Every structure is written in structure tokens, then in C-alpha cells.
């Protein structure tokens, strides 16, 4: 069964499996002890740290292993903010960061709102502060100079991912890091998605990664704090990992982490070229074979193995189940696959279509035959889901015109129903007339403007709806 969700978790690399099994026999003892078994475990841990540090591009004493990539992000942000609390409590992040970063930012802001920790510049308590969210363009990329504009005299830390986990867009980390360094502000880079493909360039100060994203074992993250960066480890003191990652080290998994990173880097150039060509095929063929599709993300500055697209008039959960039945494992940022009923914050920040969203992230070894099979399965799955939802055929005969403004009340109905109801009724709107779609689904804020763009109609705007929800007005131009 082709597994096309490597961005969530890559299959365990064969080298990682071999290293893990070997280290289970050799690395079980306490590396802090001086007897033979402890010294053997310490040698394995030190060698893994040196290998990983070389591949990341830092000193071994700057790198610690954590229990996950999320833990590395949380501790990195908390430690950097605490270390620079005398400077200020302002945090800068991009609007499309991973939820691990955004949750830390929310907690930081919540602490400030609760008044916890006293006045800025104090020495005690996990005080919070305010957060600036840097916007992105429709490709998901922050603009050059945007981080320099967001920095202030009281900025303690800035965060920017190296590449986006949902749409694959690469961020200008080197430029942002230079802007931050010029202002004396450390930059933390979430490199979880890109570290398997190469080093993160630029004068960044902190970096987080996650082994299972590149084919290492789950449950191992890494945190780099470069020398000269003020850092106060959060939580009680611990003698492990320079006091920055408490708890007993999982040496077998750490050894497998280092071995897998070295292995995937050795294969990166060849796999980059091969997978990039397969992704280009998907980017070109999906709009050709499936009507009403928007491919999202930067078409050039992107990860080689990842592509995301959204299908109009499609329930995302039903589409993923249909593809699963056809034998293809993919993921989605659509609100109709989420228990929160809200669209992905990444798609929302980009302002692109969210319904029927599919993320394809190819693991190493994916073949052209598997991609061709997926393209055929996708076409059938989308057609089947649309037929079940009663999607009207585009270009159907014009119905009787509406008297006055056409109102489509789709409140209480999830995406993609509001847009489908609009499409069914829109032929009744005369040229120059308007339709008002009433919806209480957050996805409509993205999907109705996207429908207008794809159909060549004018999106007028939104307004509060009497009786609850939001009204979205559309003018017929042709």
C-alpha cells in the first residue's frame, strides 16, 4: 500500500533499524556511570551526538537530545524567552508555524493576559508577553524584510520554520536570521521538515528537529543552542543533557537517529531530483485530470517531496477515506477532516481554498508507477465524492432568475455544502446581481472567495448575518 504521508512520519530507514537493534544490546546502561557498561553507553551517546552535530552544522556541546521534536520546540522557546527576560517579553513567529510553535506562543500570550510573572524585566516567574504573527503570501512564504519590520527593542525571540509542514514552502531563513542578528535577537528555526534534506543555512541561534520526520525512530528530538545565546532551561534542574533535556537518555533510539540522518543525507541529492520530478508530475497532472482544483504552496521554493492541493465541492474526510480504500495513505488540512471544524491555520493564513484538501508527501523509494496509480485513484475518488454530494454539473442550463438578491442559507452545514449550495443556486442570479451565502462554518471564509476566483465571479465581502453566522456576498459578472 503506497504510503504518501512522509511529512507526518517517514518510514523507519533500514539503517535506523539496524542501528537501533545493535544499540539495544550495547547502549542500555547509564551513560553517567563509570563502570564498563556505563562507559560503553557513554561512547555510543557521544558518537551519536558528534555525528548529528556535524550533519546539523553545530558543535557537539551545543546539541542535546530530547524526547520529541515538540519537546525541543517547547523547551527551546521557553528557555530562550527566560534567558532574555531582561531584554523584554515580545515574541515574533510566522503565521504558518507548526502547532508546536503556535501553542508555545499562545501560552506565552495567555500568561501575559493572566498577569503571571510580574512586570517586564523581573527575575522570577514564567512571565508572558505579547506575540507578533508575521503574515505570508498566497504561496505560504514570508516576505523579505518582514522579520526586520516585526522586531522591536523588547523582542526576546523570533521563530521561523525552515519549510512548511503542510504545503512544503521553504522560508527565507538565512535572510531572516541575518535581520535578527543585526537587531541582536536570536532566531529559533523549526527544521523538522527540512533537516533530512540538508543543513539550515544562516546565522540562526537555536534549532529544533525531530528524528521520525526523516526516517529515524519516533520519540527523539534534537535542540541546538548556539554558544553566546542566552538560555535558561525551563523546569527543575537536571544533570542530563547539559541540564536542557531532563530524563534518562534513550541511547538506542539516539544512535538510530544519528545513523538515519547520516544515511538520508547520503541519499538526499539523488532522492531530491527523483522525487521532485514525481511531485512536478502531480502538480501538473492533478489540474488536468480533476476539475476545480487549486494547487497551493510555492511552486519553486519548496521541499522536493511534498505537494498540496484542494478540490472544490469535496468533503475532505470522505475523499481521504476513498483514497485509503483505493490503497493510498495521504493527509489533509481540510476543516472537514478535523474535529475542530476549522480549516488548517496554514491554509487560512495563505487565504487559499481549504475544502477537499490533500497533502501528498512522498517517502524515499516512491516509484513513478505508484504516482500514476495515485493520479488515477484520485480522479475516481473525487468524482465519486462529488456524485454522492450532488454537485451540479458546471455549465448546466440556466434556471429561473431570482427576484432580488438570492439568499442561500447554509447555516448548520459543514464544508463543502455551503459552496455546493451556492453553485446549485447561482444560475438563478442575473449578471450584475448578487447572492448572499449564510454560513456558520469557518471554512466558508476561505472557500467562497476561492470559488469566486475559480469561477471568475466577484467576491464582494462578508457581514454579520441576522440570526447568527456570517453572510458572504458574491456578484455575478458573467
- Cα end-to-end span (Å), the chain: 45
Q: Give the integer Cα–Cα distance in Å for 34 and 57.
A: 30
Burial profile 89-123: b = 16 or more Cβ within 10 angstroms, e = fewer = bbbbbbbbbbebbbebbeebbebbeeeebeebeee
Residue 336 falls in the annotated catalytic set:
yes
Burial profile 54-68: b = 16 or more Cβ within 10 angstroms, e = fewer = bbbebebebbbbbbb
Q: Give the integer Cα–Cα distance in Å for 395 and 33.
A: 76
* Cβ contact 112:91 at 8 Å: no
Angle between helices 36-56 and 251-289 in degrees, nearest 10: 30
Angle between helices 99-113 and 69-83 in degrees, nearest 10: 40
Helix (H) or strand (E) segment spanning residue 165: none
* Cβ contact 170:201 at 8 Å: no
Q: Which of 58, 159, 311, 336 is catalytic?
A: 336
Chain length of the chain? 478
Ranges of beta strands (E only) in 325-425 are 357-361, 406-409
**H helix intervals, 250-310:** 251-289
Q: How far, in Å, are 11, 122, 218, 258, 320 from residue 221 at the CA level?
A: 16, 31, 8, 11, 29
Q: What is the DSSP annotation of 428-449?
A: GSPTT-EEEEEE--TTHHHHHH
Paired strand residues for 311: 293
Q: Give the integer Cα–Cα distance in Å for 148 and 452.
A: 35
Residues identified as active-site:
336
Amino acid at each position: 500500500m503506497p504510503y504518501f504521508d512522509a511529512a507526518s512520519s517517514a518510514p523507519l530507514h533500514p539503517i535506523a533499524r539496524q542501528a537501533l537493534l545493535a544499540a539495544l544490546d550495547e547502549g542500555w546502561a547509564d551513560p553517567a556511570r563509570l563502570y564498563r557498561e556505563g562507559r560503553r553507553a557513554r561512547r555510543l551517546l557521544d558518537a551519536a551526538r558528534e555525528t548529528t552535530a556535524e550533519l546539523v552544522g553545530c558543535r557537539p556541546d551545543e546539541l542535546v537530545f530530547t524526547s520529541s521534536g515538540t519537546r525541543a520546540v517547547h523547551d527551546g522557546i521557553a528557555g530562550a524567552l527566560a534567558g532574555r527576560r531582561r531584554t523584554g517579553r515580545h515574541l515574533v513567529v510566522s503565521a504558518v508555524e507548526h502547532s508546536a510553535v503556535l501553542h508555545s506562543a499562545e501560552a506565552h500570550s495567555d500568561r501575559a493576559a493572566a498577569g503571571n510573572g510580574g512586570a517586564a524585566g523581573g527575575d522570577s516567574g514564567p512571565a508572558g508577553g505579547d506575540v507578533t504573527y508575521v503574515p505570508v503570501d498566497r504561496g505560504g512564504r514570508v516576505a523579505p524584510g518582514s522579520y526586520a519590520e516585526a522586531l522591536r527593542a523588547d523582542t526576546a525571540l523570533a521563530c521561523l520554520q525552515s519549510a512548511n509542514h503542510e504545503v512544503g514552502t521553504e522560508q527565507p531563513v538565512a535572510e531572516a536570521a541575518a535581520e535578527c542578528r543585526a537587531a541582536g535577537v536570536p532566531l529559533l528555526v523549526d527544521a523538522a521538515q527540512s533537516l533530512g534534506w540538508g543543513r539550515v543555512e544562516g546565522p540562526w541561534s537555536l534549532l529544533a528537529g525531530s528524528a521520525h520526520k526523516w526516517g529515524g525512530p519516533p520519540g527523539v528530538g534534537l535542540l541546538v543552542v548556539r554558544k553566546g545565546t542566552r538560555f535558561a532551561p525551563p523546569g527543575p534542574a537536571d544533570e542530563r543533557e547539559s541540564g536542557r533535556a531532563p530524563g534518562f537518555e534513550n541511547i538506542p533510539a539516539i544512535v538510530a537517529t544519528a545513523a538515519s540522518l547520516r544515511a538520508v543525507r547520503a541519499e538526499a541529492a539523488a532522492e531530491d531530483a527523483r522525487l521532485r520530478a514525481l511531485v512536478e508530475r502531480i502538480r501538473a497532472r492533478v489540474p488536468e485530470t480533476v476539475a476545480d482544483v487549486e494547487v497551493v504552496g510555492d511552486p519553486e521554493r519548496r521541499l522536493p517531496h511534498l505537494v498540496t492541493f484542494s478540490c472544490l465541492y469535496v468533503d475532505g474526510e470522505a475523499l481521504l477515506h476513498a483514497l485509503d480504500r483505493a490503497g493510498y495513505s495521504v493527509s489533509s488540512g481540510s476543516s472537514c477532516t478535523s474535529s475542530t471544524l476549522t480549516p488548517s491555520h496554514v491554509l487560512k493564513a495563505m487565504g487559499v481554498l481549504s475544502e477537499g484538501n490533500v497533502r501528498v508527501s512522498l517517502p524515499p523509494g516512491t516509484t513513478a508507477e505508484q504516482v500514476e496509480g495515485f493520479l488515477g485513484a484520485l480522479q475516481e475518488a473525487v468524482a465519486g465524492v462529488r456524485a454522492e454530494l450532488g454537485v451540479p454539473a458546471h455549465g448546466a442550463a440556466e434556471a429561473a432568475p431570482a427576484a432580488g438578491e438570492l439568499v442561500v442559507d447554509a447555516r448548520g452545514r459543514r464544508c463543502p455544502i455551503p459552496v455546493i449550495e451556492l453553485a446549485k443556486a447561482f444560475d438563478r442570479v442575473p449578471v450584475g446581481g448578487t447572492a448572499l451565502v449564510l454560513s456558520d462554518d469557518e471554512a466558508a471564509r476561505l472557500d467562497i472567495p476561492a470559488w469566486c476566483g475559480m469561477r471568475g465571479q466577484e467576491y464582494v465581502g462578508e457581514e454579520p448575518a441576522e440570526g447568527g453566522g456570517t453572510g458572504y456576498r458574491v456578484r455575478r459578472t458573467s
